[in-house]
Amino acid sequence: MDPSRKRTIRLAVLLAAAVLLATALVYTSFSASTEASKPSEIRPGQSYEVTGKVVANSVERRGEELRFRIRDRDGTASVPVVYSGVVPDPFREGREVIVEGELRQGTFVAERDSLVTKCPSKFTTERSS
Amino acid sequence: MAGVGSACLTIALLTALYAAGASVYGAVARRREWVISGRRAIYCMAGLCLVAFALLEAAFLRTDLSLKLVAEGSSTDTPTFYKVTALWATQDGSLLLWATLMSLFASAALFLTRRSLREIAPWAAAVLGCVAAFFLFLMVGWENPFDTLAVAPAEGAGLNPLLRHPAMMIHPPMLYTGYVGFSIPFAFAVGALIERRTGADWIRATRRFALIAWTFLGTGILLGALWSYTELGWGGYWAWDPVENASLMPWLVGTAFIHSIMVQEKRGMLRVWNVSLVCATFALALLGTFLVRSGILDSIHAFGASTIGVQFLVFICSVVALSAALVLWRLPDLRSEARLDSFASREAFFILNNLVLVGLCLVILWGTFFPLISEALTGEEASVGPPWFDRLTTPIALVLVLLTGVGPVLAWRRVTLAALGRVLVVPLAVALVALLGLLAFTDAADSVPALLMFCFVAFVLAVVAQEFWRGASARRVMTGEAWPRALARLTGRNRRRYGGYLVHAGIAVLFLGVAASSAFLEQRDVRLAPGESFSLDGYEITYRKATARLGGDSAGTGAPISFGAVMSVRRGDQRFTLRPSRNFYSSGDPSLGAISRFFEGEATSEVDVRWGLRKDLWLAVRPDVSALEKPIAEADAKFADSPGDVQALIIAALAERYRRDPPPAAFRAIASPLVAWIWIGGAIALLGALVAVWPSPEARLRRVRALYSARLGKELSRA
């Protein structure tokens, strides 16, 4: 085989591998990704991953159960949440959280251990103003 | 003093700009004195940065609260050890650390090349001057670490409790040293391209810097993982967080680079690839620095939303665009001297390993930026989680480890099948024995990727051991040395090669730990009252009693309140005690009550780990302070205006109450097999890298001889 042909083949193989990798990336990432919904968007009968802020003065603990309200990041619509399981260290009122679960009779029933606190504390502590 | 610091930074910025200008003029006009002046300006800039850094560090040590940075990131009651580190826990301080390290590296590189690379070095000085100028410009213009407050507060905010961990003291400087180290090969590559000196000279001059940068970056990443494991309270060492990914990407591309430059040194091939890789590595290092600061991706490890995101983005884009333009412009000068002779050759496998490493980096890049990509394409911000990363990176990691074993046994140019069979028969046999042994005596077959990884690791270790054995026995035949001496001499005389093998062995061991601990980890979350127990993976764990300490927690982080548990563990006839605890830091929020403030700030888990070569038992506790809520609220009302010592008494009473009558606490226990081998593998790799970097006595002798003969030549020509 002459060298230029060899080069073409090599290039084609490389490009094919690259295209394959790219397709795999696009396909798997879009199918695996989870969209976070706002509290105002959730409806009964479907499971959601909800992201929002913990409403001030709403956190209440009853034995194993943690109850709080979660509201839209930039709005006031909120939904009550009932949760059990591990509460992450930085969980606080006013912080952004993600929780998975489903709306039942007006209350968002969260799956066990699904609570994640989002960007809780930046390296620099928040100014308390 | 703040004025002196600011002035230092401003003068350093001007010096950097002068260094860049003088070097370019000197290079273009071939005026040697301008080149020398430019180089000395870089030294001068390094000195100024050091002075500024020392001034800032002194301010942190004295807790000079009139400085905004100190007031926001430190406090008088922060332990001294952490006062020092508080400097780089702040945005502005970390920029100063970056600039200081960068200017020191630049000075060292330019000093070492002062008598060689006459064409390339001035351009490298100019590039380094520009990069340093950018960072100084950020500090002078937007994020001046010496900004003062009009009124100094009585007390600072204190260092973020999560950062109070020894690994965090050295993790950022390690990482930054890695990042800035890659600017040296980048700068010399740019110089080589501009001057059309695209041979291996620039590589030989900077390869050691690339290796040093790679070592530091790798160590930094591992320390970060160790911090995550022991401090963050979730029990893992890697979460595919954007900031973790940001540090891993330049390391992966850097790994590709230090392999592929060997191909260029030996065979004169891959020139375009090498300059592209080094540009990509540097751009990714900048990206890593940027991601931590920008706030564009949600990460738990980021600095607060910042004002310098746009400037950073512009700078990274111009670095990428200019390097791409430069490579394209010099494409005709970058032709290979040689062709690939055969796919069964070391260079072919280096190319393969490069593609795999770069592919891995692209996967991580895609996943990291997926929230932005998806928002741009679909309008919805969606993210891929750790399972996605695990699924895609596992096969790539398997291939990579396999290549780690195959690469070293292949010869350059071409290898015959018979020769390949001879060197591979023992390692393959070892891998097979490992496979059979694992299938027969363990449950490793429950996870196919882990089983494959174990066999590959056995293969790599056998390859490395065989290489050492072959080299040492050859020496023994020639010199009649004893085994230890032969091994030491062998390694000492071929540091790059055998250091590299050690690194390969270390990486294989590291992956052994990663595979075992991710596939066979057992975890339980339980809620226990004192006296109750639970079992996990054969461990019988009992909650004996609660503890409460005020001031002086066991880890010395300066937390005022620390609630914990004494846990006795039994496994067979093995018994030990673990004491996990949780530190409570007071909140600065004035709207909270005088007493509740002490419980409402940050809280961090101080986990306790029983380290073991076979298995770690990791235990964290989450005391339930809600039972104290009522007395705390009462105390808030009663003692709102009491002096500090009365409040301290109240806190002590509350702590005593918790200790005597503790409500059930939540525990997380993790039994993680072989996880210790991650750190051991890392240490082996570090040792190997040090062996490879350390100049060998022969090389030093050669350099001295070359210097003398050059001087002799000069004398003779004068005579």
Average pLDDT rounded to a whole number, residues A79-101: 80
Strands (E) located in B430-573: 522-528, 533-536, 539-550, 561-571
Residue B308's pLDDT is 75
Tell me how many residue pairs between chain A and chain B have CB atoms under 8 A apart.
106
Average pLDDT over every residue of B197-217: 90
Could you write out the DSSP letters of every residue in B375-422? Answer: HHHHSS-EE--HHHHHHHHHHHHHHHHHHHHHGGGSPSS---HHHHHH
Q: pLDDT class for B434, splitting at 50, 70, 90?
A: very high
Average pLDDT over residues B266-287: 90
Strand residues in B449-600 grouped as ranges (E): 522-528, 533-536, 539-550, 561-571, 574-578, 581-584
Residues B290 and B250: their CA atoms lie apart, in Å, by 13
Checking if the pLDDT of B663 tops 90, the result is no
- What local confidence, expressed as pLDDT, does residue A127 receive? 30
Most confident of B488-497, B596-605, B639-648: B488-497
For residue B704, pLDDT over 80 is answered with no
Minimum distance, in Å, between the CA of residue A124 and any CA atom of chain B? 6
Judged against a pLDDT cut of 70, whether residue B554 lies above it is answered with no
- What is B324-353 written as a DSSP string? HHHHHHTGGGG--SS----SSSHHHHHHHH
Backbone angles phi, psi at B164, to 5 degrees: -85, 80
Query: What pLDDT shows up at residue A90?
Result: 67
Topology annotation, domain B1-162 = Four Helix Bundle (Hemerythrin (Met), subunit A) (1.20.120)
Instruction: Label residue A12 by pLDDT band (50, 70, 90).
Output: confident
Mean pLDDT of A91-97: 78
pLDDT band at B304 (very low <50, low <70, confident <90, very high): low
- B489: buried, middle or exposed (CB in 10 Å: 19+, 13-18, 0-12)? middle
Supply the pLDDT for residue A26. 82
Q: Which chain B residues touch A90 with a CB distance below 8 Å?
A: 300, 602
Residue B217 has pLDDT above 90, yes or no: yes
Half-sphere exposure of B27 (CA within 13 A, CB side): 23
Using CB atoms, pick whichever of A29, A126, A128 lies closest to residue B370: A29
Residues 87 through 106 of chain A touching chain B, CB cutoff 8 Å: 87-90, 92
What single-letter DSSP state applies at residue B238? -
Among B626, B632, B667, B668, the residue to mutate for chain A (most A Cβ within 10 A): B626
Disruptive mutation site among A89, A91, A117 for chain B (greatest number of B CBs within 10 Å) = A89
B382 close to A (CB below 8 A): yes
B295: confidence class by pLDDT, cuts 50, 70, 90: low
H or E element, residue B166: helix B166-181
B298, B359, B589: residue with CB nearest A118: B298
- Compute the distance between CA of residue B710 and CA of residue B219 in angstroms, rounded to an integer: 39
| Average pLDDT over every residue of A94-103 | 83
Residues 142-181 on B with a CB inside 8 Å of A are: 157-158, 160, 162-163
Residues from chain B contacting residue A128 (CB–CB below 8 Å): 587-590
User: For the stretch B364-402, what's the b/e string if a residue is b when 16 or more beta carbons lie within 10 angstroms of its beta carbon?
Assistant: bbbbbbbbebbeeeeeebbbbeeebbeebbbebbbebbb
Q: B509, B592, B575: which is closest to B541 by C-alpha? A: B575
The answer to whether A28 contacts B391, with C-beta atoms less than 8 Å apart, is yes
Q: Which residues of A touch B368 (CB under 8 A)?
A: none
CA distance B153 to B610: 42
Identify the top-confidence range among B198-207, B246-255, B268-277: B246-255
B581 touches chain A (CB under 8 A): no
What is the rounded average pLDDT of the residues B618-647?
A: 81
Residue B57 is predicted with a pLDDT of: 93
The residue extents of the domains of chain B are 1-162, 165-385, 530-663
B160-200 pLDDT per residue, tens = 787 888 887 788 889 999 999 999 999 999 999 998 888 88
Nearest CA in chain A to B592: A128
Q: Looking at residue B322, what is its pLDDT?
A: 94
From residue A22, give the alpha-carbon distance in Å to each of A29, A66, B400, B645, B661.
11, 43, 19, 64, 59
Instruction: Please write the tens of the pLDDT for every residue from B355-410.
Output: 999 999 999 999 888 888 887 887 776 778 788 899 889 999 999 999 999 888 88
Q: Do A128 and B589 touch (CB under 8 A)?
A: yes
pLDDT tens digit string along B465-487? 999 999 999 999 888 888 889 98
Per-residue pLDDT averaged across A13-30, rounded?
84
Q: Percent of chain A at pLDDT above 90?
A: 0
Whether B380 contacts chain A with CB within 8 A: yes
What's the CA gap between B360 and B250, in Å, rounded? 11
Nearest CA in chain B to A6: B340
| Tens of pLDDT, residues B538-548 | 999 999 999 88
Out of A25, A28, A128, name the one closest to residue B590 (CB).
Answer: A128
pLDDT of residue A120: 40
For residues A100 and A37, give the distance between their C-alpha atoms in angstroms, rounded to a whole number. Answer: 10
Query: Average pLDDT of B586-593?
Result: 72
Q: Which of A25, A34, A113 lies closest to B525 in CB terms?
A: A113
Indicate the DSSP class of residue B445.
G
Q: What is the mean pLDDT of residues B10-27?
A: 95
B-chain CB neighbours of A123 within 8 Å are 89-91, 160, 163, 301-304
Q: How far is B389 from B397, CA to CA, in rounded Å?
A: 11
The CATH H-level (homologous superfamily) assignment of domain A39-117 is Nucleic acid-binding proteins (2.40.50.140)
User: Please, which pLDDT band fits residue B125 given cuts at 50, 70 and 90?
Assistant: very high
SS3 B540: strand
How high is the pLDDT of residue B719?
62
